[in-house]
């Protein structure tokens, strides 16, 4: 079982007792490590197959894990998704816990949401239904009840697709309809299992007697609800192995959070931590780019990044290509793919990855023109999308009966005619806010508007009927074999996959990061998304961008900021060193879990004036008793208060969210002269030090600070 494993993978395989956290970078063989761990335990007689529950996030990954375990002689181990494992338990225990049979699992949640909206007298189109349904799903996995939805999304910084009060109302009625019709939904499977295990200790004990050892893959993607279920499965035991990579957290919009992974050792102080950094997938050249992307990252996940070390032979350098416009970019990719296929590279080993599904149409057409078979993953074919089909019907009707359509009276040319028709289908001159289905629908319609503009530019006398014929031809040209085709996929749907050759396209500002990524957290998730894309490539990596959308357009685009300092000719931004980024092992305590220390022992805080032990939080922040004399610089304190007020107004937050009064008093008393001294003051956390440290030190030094300083 241990032959062929590298030293770190072997540590994973042999660490069979107590909590284990495996920080596994992309391509480092995490699935191999955890399947050999389970199989080694089974073959050595240390684990009973039926007592092990391995949990992952997709049926494909669970199936792959079961297959590997069978090959390793560990058949009988349960490898399931969270929902599959919970549903199995719910079906078994429902008669005992509740009585009767389990309510039916709703087949089409979106129809129930539509009924709830209708009952609320709120009209939603198909795409709004998808978005509202997604908001209900997010609420449930984050354990947010309908009444708490508006403040919860404000706190999370989410862009609601409708008025939050309306969504909360629909959500509430949706729950009532489910109860009335004896339905449960996908999220209820987890919620109800959690409820039963919390309320029925006899059932919880029965589950815990069945499962003694737990393995959780892709732990950076767990939601609060999944984490709660895992805790109930565990009880007071700690035979848990989690595997994840905070740098691959790209699903926060669904409620996933890497905090459980990053806080694992805080919750389990005796945990063994193993870092897998030997990359067996990608060449040193690809790995160098991946490491470079994360070296410029910020935030908590970046502080725990892993520095990958390629184990493969050297390969070609990544190719960076700038194109004049998007069609030229698509044609360039198709041409290079044709050359690769002619040289013997299988089409199935090539992928084109893009940020949004709406980008696929240009590449579908370019590949079809080049005679390259392709398959779409994680998205409908462009001309099969409902909004595109419906738009085609509307355009065909306008072409046939346009003379009687008042919409076209003031539309003298083809582009204006198409804009007029598609405005009735939801197209607007400005894109909608957010990143959900409404935005995707708009992007699909915008692609048709852009196509009409390009078509008219090439043929000035073209008619609406000519455009409809062109659309039909384009749709027919997409009928290519899909089994051995080049993969077209969004970056999100490419997670967990790999190819010999990867084309990362549209890597320009406005698309990567996407325009609606505004906050630091959203920008960093976009960076991680690009990192996932880069690490899908085994050997060849092509990165490209276009200076403008359409031929002849104004070249006002620039390459993504994420490539600064990485692509030839660009200026590097300040990097950072990895926090423990190299591979290795931090062993857990050898004592029994109940004797392992549960918290770090700290030296008591003492007053810096009289020496008395401090227990009050406010006094500990000042490092002196409330009654002891203060040596605070009153003028400095007032300048800090004035500056804080400006920052609070700029960020739209209360003053205390910048710094509390006591923290400002502590700063004014300490008068720090360096970031190190400032960081020692309680209340000056790492994020605030990064954001406000320069301002505070400047004020302490008697310098003037502008109003725009300190902002994000």
Q: What is the pLDDT of residues 550-594, one digit of tens each?
A: 888 788 889 999 999 998 887 765 444 444 455 666 665 544 444
Q: What is the pLDDT of residues 410-464, one digit of tens each?
A: 777 888 888 888 888 888 888 776 656 676 788 788 888 888 887 888 777 888 8
Assigned domain for 476 exists:
no
Whether 79 and 121 share a structural domain: no
Assigned domain for 612 exists:
no
Say whether pTM exceeds 0.75: no
Whether 61 and 202 share a structural domain: yes
Instruction: Supply the pLDDT for residue 605.
Output: 56
158 falls in which pLDDT band (50, 70, 90)? Answer: confident
Lowest average pLDDT, out of 308-322, 327-341, 646-660, goes to 646-660
Final residue before a domain boundary, out of 518, 534, 563: 563
Whether 145 and 270 share a structural domain: no
Assigned domain for 246 exists:
yes
Assigned domain for 225 exists:
yes
Lowest average pLDDT, out of 80-89, 486-495, 655-664, goes to 655-664
Instruction: Supply the pLDDT for residue 613.
Output: 60
For residues 177-205, one letter each, b for 16 or more C-beta atoms within 10 angstroms of the residue's C-beta and e for the rest, the string is bbeeeebbbebbbbbbbbebbeebeebbe
Assigned domain for 609 exists:
no
- Is 1's pLDDT higher than 70? yes
Whether 159 and 114 share a structural domain: yes
176 falls in which pLDDT band (50, 70, 90)? Answer: very high
Instruction: Supply the pLDDT for residue 131.
Output: 87
| Distance of alpha carbon 365 from alpha carbon 326, whole angstroms | 12
Assigned domain for 499 exists:
yes
For residues 89-128, one letter each, b for 16 or more C-beta atoms within 10 angstroms of the residue's C-beta and e for the rest, the string is bbeebbeebeeeebbeebeebeebbbebbeebebebeebb
* CATH number, position 524: 3.40.50.300
Assigned domain for 162 exists:
yes
Whether 199 and 252 share a structural domain: yes
252 falls in which pLDDT band (50, 70, 90)? Answer: confident
| Distance of alpha carbon 285 from alpha carbon 298, whole angstroms | 23
Whether 21 and 168 share a structural domain: no
Whether 341 and 388 share a structural domain: no
Binding residues for ATP: 24-31
Higher-confidence position of 155 and 323? 323
Domain count, the chain: 5
Assigned domain for 357 exists:
yes
Higher-confidence position of 479 and 60? 60
Whether 200 and 156 share a structural domain: no
Q: What is the pLDDT of residues 472-490, one digit of tens each?
A: 877 765 432 234 678 999 9
| Distance of alpha carbon 188 from alpha carbon 173, whole angstroms | 15
- 450: phi > 0 → left, psi -120 to 50 → alpha, else beta; which? alpha
- Is 237's pLDDT higher than 70? yes
- Is 654's pLDDT higher than 90? no
Alpha helices in 235-345 (DSSP H): 259-262, 264-267, 284-295, 300-303, 326-342
Final residue before a domain boundary, out of 406, 423, 449: 449
User: What mean pLDDT, rounded, does the chain reach?
Assistant: 84
- Is 332's pLDDT higher than 80? yes
Nearest alpha carbon to residue 8 among 272, 253, 223, 285 = 272
Whether 389 and 373 share a structural domain: no
Strand partners, 353: 489, 504
Whether 397 and 374 share a structural domain: no
| Burial (CB count within 10 angstroms: exposed 0-12, middle 13-18, buried 19+), residue 579 | exposed
Final residue before a domain boundary, out of 563, 591, 618: 563
* CA distance to 170, 244, 525, 529, per residue, from 248 (Å): 33, 8, 9, 7
* CATH number, position 652: 1.10.150.80
Say which residue the tokens 């390259």 belong to: 372
Instruction: Supply the pLDDT for residue 600.
Output: 35
Binding residues: 24-31
- Is 595's pLDDT higher than 50? no
Instruction: Supply the pLDDT for residue 608.
Output: 60
Question: Looking at residues 275-296, what average pLDDT do you find?
Answer: 94
Whether 373 and 387 share a structural domain: no
Question: Looking at residues 46-74, what average pLDDT do you find?
Answer: 87
Residue 443 lies in domain: 382-449
Whether 548 and 669 share a structural domain: no
* CA distance to 127, 133, 170, 487, per residue, from 110 (Å): 10, 6, 12, 29
CB contact at 8 A, 417 and 464: yes
Instruction: Supply the pLDDT for residue 128.
Output: 85
- Cβ atoms < 10 Å from Cβ of 24: 27
- Is 242's pLDDT higher than 90? yes
Instruction: Supply the pLDDT for residue 576.
Output: 46
| Burial (CB count within 10 angstroms: exposed 0-12, middle 13-18, buried 19+), residue 598 | exposed
């Amino acid at each position: 079982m241990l032959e062929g494993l590298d030293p770190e993978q072997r540590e994973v395989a042999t660490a069979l007792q107590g909590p284990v956290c495996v920080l596994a970078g992309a391509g480092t063989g995490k699935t191999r490590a955890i399947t050999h761990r389970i199989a080694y335990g089974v073959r050595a007689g240390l684990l009973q197959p039926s007592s092990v529950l391995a949990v992952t996030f997709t049926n494909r990954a669970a199936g792959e894990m079961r297959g590997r375990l069978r090959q390793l002689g560990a058949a009988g181990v349960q490898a399931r998704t969270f929902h599959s494992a919970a549903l199995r338990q719910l079906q078994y225990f429902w008669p005992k816990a509740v009585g009767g049979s389990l309510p039916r699992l709703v087949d089409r949640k979106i129809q129930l949401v539509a009924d709830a909206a209708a009952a609320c007298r709120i009209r939603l189109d198909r795409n709004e239904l998808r978005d509202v349904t997604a908001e209900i799903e997010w609420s449930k996995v984050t354990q947010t009840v309908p009444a708490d939805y508006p403040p919860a999304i404000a706190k999370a910084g989410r862009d609601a697709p409708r008025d939050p009060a309306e969504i909360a109302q629909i959500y509430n009625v949706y729950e009532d309809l489910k109860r009335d019709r004896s339905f449960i939904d996908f999220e209820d499977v987890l919620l109800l299992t959690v409820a039963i295990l919390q309320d029925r200790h006899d059932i919880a004990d029965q589950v815990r007697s069945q499962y003694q050892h737990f393995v959780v893959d892709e732990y950076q993607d767990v939601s609060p609800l999944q984490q709660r279920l895992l805790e109930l499965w565990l009880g007071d035991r700690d035979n848990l192995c989690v595997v994840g990579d905070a740098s691959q957290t790209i699903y926060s919009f669904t409620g996933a959070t890497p905090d459980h992974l990053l806080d694992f050792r805080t919750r389990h102080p005796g945990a063994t931590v193993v870092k897998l950094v030997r990359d067996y997938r990608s060449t040193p050249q690809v790995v160098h780019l991946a490491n470079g992307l994360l070296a410029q990252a910020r935030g908590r996940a970046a502080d725990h990044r892993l520095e990958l070390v390629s184990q493969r032979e050297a390969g070609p350098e990544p190719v960076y290509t700038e194109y004049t416009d998007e069609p030229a970019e698509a044609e360039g990719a198709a041409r290079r793919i044709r050359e690769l296929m002619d040289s013997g590279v299988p089409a199935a080993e090539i992928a084109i990855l893009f940020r949004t599904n709406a980008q696929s149409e240009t590449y579908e057409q370019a590949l079809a023109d080049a005679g390259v078979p392709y398959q779409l993953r994680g998205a409908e074919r462009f001309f099969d999308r409902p909004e595109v089909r419906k738009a085609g019907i509307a355009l065909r009707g306008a072409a046939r009966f346009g003379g009687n359509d008042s919409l076209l009276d003031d539309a003298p040319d083809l582009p204006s005619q198409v804009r007029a028709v598609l405005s009735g289908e939801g197209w607007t001159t400005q894109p909608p806010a957010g990143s959900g289905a409404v935005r995707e629908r708009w992007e699909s319609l915008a692609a048709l508007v852009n196509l009409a503009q390009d078509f008219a530019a090439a043929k000035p006398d073209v008619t609406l009927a000519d455009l409809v014929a062109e659309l039909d031809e384009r749709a027919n040209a997409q009928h290519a074999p899909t089994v051995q085709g080049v993969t077209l996929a969004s970056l999100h749907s490419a997670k967990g996959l790999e190819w010999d050759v990867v084309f990362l396209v549209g890597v320009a500002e406005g698309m990567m990061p996407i325009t609606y990524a505004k906050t630091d957290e959203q920008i960093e998730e976009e960076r991680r998304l690009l990192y996932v894309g880069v690490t899908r490539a085994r050997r060849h990596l092509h990165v490209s961008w276009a200076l403008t959308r359409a031929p002849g357009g104004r070249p006002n685009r620039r390459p993504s900021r994420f490539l600064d300092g990485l692509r030839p000719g660009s200026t590097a931004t300040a990097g950072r060193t990895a926090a423990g980024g190299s591979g290795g092992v931090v062993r857990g305590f050898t004592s029994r879990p109940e004797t392992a220390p549960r918290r770090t022992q700290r030296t008591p805080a003492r007053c810096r004036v009289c020496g008395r032990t401090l227990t009050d939080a406010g006094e500990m922040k000042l490092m002196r008793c409330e009654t002891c004399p203060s040596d605070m610089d009153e003028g400095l304190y007032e300048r800090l208060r004035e500056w804080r007020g400006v920052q609070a107004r700029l960020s739209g937050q209360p003053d205390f969210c910048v710094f509390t009064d006591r923290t400002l008093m502590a700063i004014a008393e300490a008068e720090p002269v360096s970031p190190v001294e400032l960081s020692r003051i309680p209340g000056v956390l790492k994020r605030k030090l990064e954001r406000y440290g320069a301002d505070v030190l400047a004020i302490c030094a008697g310098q003037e600070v502008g109003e725009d300083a300190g902002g994000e």
